[in-house]
Amino acid sequence: MRLGSIVQLGICLAFIFSCTGLSAALKAEGVADVTIFQADDDLDILVSVLHKALAEADVVLLTGGVSVGDYDFVIEASKRCGVQQVFHKVRQKPGKPLYFGKKDRKIVFGLPGNPSSVLSCYYNYVLPCLKLLSKKEDRVIEVTAELAHSYKKTAGLTHFLKGIYASGKVSLLTAQESFRLSSFAQANCLICMDEEKTEFAAGESVQVLLLPS
């Protein structure tokens, strides 16, 4: 685990575990000299690391360990450190096990471990939070776009799909699986596919989150 300061944002951030894509995304927002504190899959070790992070940082990001497996200790470690859970699990794909908690004025995000899930949750939740905390004037931009391809899914989960947005239209990329980052390298947006809908026709209007350039 590493501790660093967000230079342009003016807040202090602790980063538990590591994800190359997340490190790059943070640096693009003004995160400088991010230090990573590694924590083994051990509850006592994670409690110790998280306790230190909370003592030194305004915002703590954890990647991995937020599901319900035998070695997923983020939820219990957060409880032992006095973090009040605001929510755990969101009806979305990728990133369903997302965790958010608070301790006094400190904020804790538990991001799912798969690379694409990490980045999807970062852009949808962490980045808007950082901008709000830092009182930055620029905000995450959402637009309505025309869908270039049809898409089908099951009801019950909002899907966030990597895409290419241009001139009011948006195209889906391949390699949408949560363990794959290749589509994020090409994407300039995330397409929000409504939780309850199962079919989206080409030409239909959808909400699009534009990624920072």
Mean pLDDT within 124-144: 87
Provide the CATH number for the domain formed by 141-210 in this structure.
Answer: 2.40.340.10
CATH H-level, domain 2-134: superfamily = MoaB/Mog-like domain (3.40.980.10)
Question: Residue 32's pLDDT is what?
Answer: 62
Q: What percent of the chain has pLDDT over 90?
A: 57
Mean pLDDT within 118-122: 94
Count helices and strands in the chain by DSSP H and E runs: 6, 16
Handedness of CA 10, 129, 122, 113 (dihedral sign): positive
**Predicted confidence (pLDDT) at residue 116 exceeds the cutoff of 70:** yes
Residue 9 binned pLDDT confidence (cut-offs 50, 70, 90) = very low
Question: Residue 16's pLDDT is what?
Answer: 60
Domain boundaries, the chain: 2-134, 141-210
Give the tens place of pLDDT for each residue, 163-206.
999 999 999 999 898 888 889 989 999 999 999 999 999 999 99
Grouping H, G, I as helix, E, B as strand and the rest as coil, residue 205 is strand
Mean pLDDT score of the chain = 87
Give the tens place of pLDDT for each residue, 25-74.
888 887 665 667 778 788 999 999 899 888 888 888 998 889 888 879 99
Question: Residue 114's pLDDT is what?
Answer: 87
pTM of the predicted model over 0.95: no
**Predicted confidence (pLDDT) at residue 6 exceeds the cutoff of 80:** no
Handedness of CA 38, 40, 41, 42 (dihedral sign): negative
The single residue listed with the structure tokens 């894509």 is 21
* Assigned token pair, 191: 């397409």
Closest CA to 4 of 64, 62, 57, 78: 57
